[in-house]
Structure 1
Amino acid sequence: MTRVCLVAKEGVDLRTDLFSYETARKALATYDLSEPWANAVAADTVSLGSAVSLLNDLDWYLARLVDDVLVREPSVSPHEWLSRPLARQIRDGDVSHDEVVNRLKVYGVDEENRLVDPTQVLRGDAADGAYERAEYEESVVVRVSQEEFL
């Protein structure tokens, strides 16, 4: 299963605000939503293609309510997430899994269980999950495309 995670903009109650729009409500009706972090909503989809399609359906709402979109595809990495543009590139066959392990955006998870303080880093080795944010007990690693990196 491919997981999609929407990280809310500051001050947005994402679940409530998304469901206030009929079209978004219909697009999400078949998904069981969860809240992996206090400022995020996630849904499991059947494939990377269906995850990208769902995000395309929600694009108007994402532009208004969402600060970042994360996609976790187990065939790429069981622990690290992909940015939306990188997920699209992998789905389209424009890049391979092996090309995208070193350019990262790393979020800290604060005391309130919110994703905060995204920092871009270049990982020196290609080991999956090898980057930690020392100032936070937990971190979330997101692989990003070359175009997104700095």
Structure 2
Amino acid sequence: MTRVCLIGNPDCTLQYELLSRETSREALATYDLTRPFENSLAVRTVSVGAAVSLLNDLDWYLTRFVDEALVLEPSVSDEEWLSRPLARALRNGAVDPEDTGEFCKVYGLERVGEPNSSSDTEPNSSGDERPRSSADAGRESSGDDGRESNRDDASADADSGGEEAKPADAFGVAGQTHRLVEPLYVRRTDGELPEYDLRDVGETLVVRLTETEYSS
């Protein structure tokens, strides 16, 4: 399964901005939503083509509320994410999977609070998360004119998978305790990436870029 992860702008609450508006909420309605990092939303799609199509459907919202749109395609890498432009180039056949790894940026993963009392797990470099839940946003919506809907109408249905339901926020999206910080732009040499040295962090997240993104 191909994963999509949206990292929100620091000045907004991403899940509210996306799930309180009818068009974006409907685009996400068929997916189980997770939040692997602070102020993020992630879904699993069937292919890189489906991932790119979903991002295209959400383009208006990505421009306004999203800092990063990332795609994790297992046929390319199980741990290193693709930027949206690189995922699009891969979908269009403009780049081969083995040629995607030269230009990268590496984020530090910084802890922002204590772990959830209901879960002892933490995200790794691929953004794996627990607990997982499905989101059923409220029936009322402002549409796309920017007016907010009533958050109290949002409901949460836990995707327990046979396990006890985990705590979730108003939209049924479980939070995590790490955020992406201070990217380091690097170039892979002889199959190796330079070490992340901008902050003292325990883990990192690698995003593969197009050459244009790397150079800009």
State the TM-score bracket (shorter-chain normalisation): over 0.9
Q: Is the 8 A contact 1:2 1:71 kept in 2?
A: yes
Alignment match, 2:187: 122
- Partner SS state of residue 148, structure 1: helix
Alignment match, 1:64: 64
- Partner SS state of residue 85, structure 2: helix
The number of residues matched between the two structures is 148
Runs of 4+ in 1 over 4 A off after TM superposition: none
Alignment of 1:76-91 (within 5 A): 76-91=76-91
Q: Shift in Å at residue 72 of structure 1?
A: 0.1
Q: Deviations over 1:11-32 (max 9, x none)?
A: 2111111111110000000011
Alignment match, 2:196: 133
Q: Shift in Å at residue 4 of structure 1?
A: 0.2
Q: Is the 8 A contact 1:109 1:139 kept in 2?
A: yes
> Which structure's residues are more often strand, by fraction?
1
- Equivalent AA in structure 2 for residue 115 of structure 1: L
Stretches of structure 2 lacking an aligned partner (at least 5 in a row): 113-177
Q: Is the 8 A contact 1:89 1:95 kept in 2?
A: yes
- Equivalent AA in structure 2 for residue 118 of structure 1: P
Alignment match, 1:39: 39
Alignment match, 1:4: 4
RMSD: 1.2
When Rg is computed on C-alpha atoms for both structures, the one with the higher figure is 2
> Which structure's residues are more often helix, by fraction?
1
Q: Is the 8 A contact 2:184 2:196 kept in 1?
A: no
How far apart in 2 are the matches of 1:8 and 1:65? Answer: 6
Q: Deviations over 1:7-58 (max 9, x none)?
A: 1101211111111111000000001110111121100001100000000000
Larger RCO of the pair (alpha carbons < 8 Å, separation 6+): 2
- Partner SS state of residue 108, structure 2: strand
- Partner SS state of residue 68, structure 1: strand
Identity over aligned pairs, percent: 52
